[in-house]
């Protein structure tokens, strides 16, 4: 079983959007996927309750470090949707994850805000040799200077930047509100999530068991 945690204490950075769509994307590739909602606001749980094809979704308990590994008999991939604010749950999520995705909107303030989670990941990597981490540019507006320069700004942290980004598209909030993924729609957002799914599966299968 592989575990992907979508973390960034910056509120509204796109964690739930990426976690829910990625979980559906991986599920559609034939993997058994669970979504773990680590946010007290419970957005992912509400999303899951609204949809028909949503992956099994669990509200995280304090004991993530016991409860996530316990899913390994039933699921191939677990996606954890993190909370705004660096709660204890986020620290536990870093411990149980193989890969951390850090959604960042293209703005200086959003990039700086990611430094807290990077510190936690680095501290864990020093003692445990993992997890792997990658930035995902979220809500990019095409043809803006910020969208063009963000890759360089993120790469300066020495962390991988995924090739896939999500563009600023109305399909995302529409799907989130309806218990759907953007894969249920056609168009650019669906292409983005297909591409994200491929990139993440590649990273998960290439990192050590
Ligand atoms: N690519 C996008 N295009 C347009 N809207 C988006 C995009 N990504 C996210 N949003 C919208 O922005 C808002 C915040 O996104 P989301 O809930 O995914 O962020 P979050 O990091 O989970 O927030 P929180 O920290 O509150 O949990 C939501 O209304 C969502 O629908
Ligand atoms: Mg959220």
pLDDT single digits (tens) 67-117: 999 999 999 999 999 988 867 888 999 999 999 999 999 988 899 999 999
State pTM to two decimals: 0.97
Ligand nearest to the CA of 176: 1
What are the sequence ranges of the domains in the chain? 2-206
Task: Find out whether 60 and 89 touch, Cβ atoms under 8 Å.
Answer: yes
pLDDT in tens, 150-197: 999 999 999 999 999 999 999 999 999 999 999 999 899 999 999 999
Which amino acid residue places its CA nearest to atom 16 of ligand 1? 14
Distance CA 51, CA 31 (A): 19
Q: What pLDDT score does 207 carry?
A: 62
Q: What pLDDT score does 80 carry?
A: 98
Q: Does the beta carbon of 106 sit less than 6 angstroms from any atom of ligand 1?
A: no
CATH number for 2-206 (one of 3.40.50.720, 3.40.50.300, 3.30.70.580, 3.90.950.20): it is: 3.40.50.300
Measured in Å, residue 15 CA sits from the centre of ligand 1 at 7
Which amino acid residue places its CA nearest to atom 28 of ligand 1? 173
pLDDT in tens, 105-161: 998 889 999 999 999 999 999 999 999 999 999 999 988 888 788 999 999 999 999
Which of 156, 186, 155 has its CA nearest to residue 169?
Answer: 186
Give yes or no for residue 5 having a pLDDT over 80: yes
CA atoms within 13 A on the CB side of 68: 28
Sheet holding 99-104, edge to edge: 57-59, 33-37, 77-81, 2-6, 99-104, 132-137, 160-161
């Amino acid at each position: 079983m592989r575990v992907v945690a979508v973390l960034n204490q910056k509120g509204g950075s796109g964690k739930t959007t990426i976690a829910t769509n990625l979980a559906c994307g991986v599920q559609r590739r034939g993997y058994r996927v669970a979504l773990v909602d680590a946010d007290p606001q419970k957005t992912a749980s509400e999303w899951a309750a609204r949809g028909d094809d949503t992956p099994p979704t669990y509200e995280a308990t304090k004991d993530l470090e016991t409860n996530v590994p316990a899913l390994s008999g039933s699921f191939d991939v677990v996606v954890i949707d993190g909370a705004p604010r660096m709660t204890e749950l986020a620290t536990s999520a870093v411990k149980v994850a193989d890969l951390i995705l850090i959604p960042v909107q293209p703005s200086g303030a959003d990039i700086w805000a990611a430094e807290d989670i990077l510190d936690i990941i680095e501290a864990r990597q020093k003692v445990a040799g993992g997890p792997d981490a990658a930035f995902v540019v979220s809500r990019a507006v095409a043809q803006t200077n910020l969208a063009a320069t963000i890759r360089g700004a993120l790469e300066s942290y020495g962390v991988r930047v995924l090739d896939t980004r999500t563009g600023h598209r109305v399909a995302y909030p529409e799907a989130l509100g309806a218990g759907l993924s953007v894969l249920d729609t056609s168009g650019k957002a669906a292409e983005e999530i297909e591409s994200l799914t491929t990139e993440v599966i590649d990273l998960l299968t290439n990192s050590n068991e």
